[in-house]
Structure 1
Amino acid sequence: MNAPIAWLAWTGLHLSPWKLIGLTGASMFGARWLVQVLASRRAQKPVIPRAFWYMSLTGSAMTLAYFTLSAKQDAVGVLQNLLPTFTAAYSLWLDIRHHGWRRQQVPGRTETDLEG
Structure 2
Amino acid sequence: MIIQYGQALSDYLYDVFVAKFDFWLAFGLVAQLFFTARFLVQWIASERAGNSVVPMAFWFCSMGGGLMTLTYGIAKREPIIILGQGLATVIYLRNIMLIWKNRGKGSQTLDR
Give yes or no for TM over 0.5. Answer: yes
Pairing partner for 1:37 from 29, 34, 43:
43
* Structure 1 residues not aligned, in runs of 5+: 1-11, 101-110
Deviation of the 1:50 alpha carbon: 0.6
The equivalences for 1:71-110 within 5 A come to: 72-99=76-103
* Structure 2 residues not aligned, in runs of 5+: 1-17
Whether 2:43 is the aligned partner of 1:25: answer no
- CA RMSD for the aligned pairs? 2.2
Q: Which amino acid in the other structure matches residue 44 of structure 1?
A: G
Distance 1:68 1:28 in 2: 18
Distance 1:29 1:83 in 2: 15
Pairing partner for 2:22 from 16, 22, 29:
16
TM-score by length of 2: 0.71
TM-score by length of 1: 0.69
Larger Rg: 2
The equivalences for 1:36-75 within 5 A come to: 36-69=42-75, 72-75=76-79
Q: What is residue 8 of structure 1 aligned with on the other side?
A: none
Distance 1:59 1:13 in 2: 25
Distance 1:76 1:59 in 2: 16
Structure holding more helix per residue: 2
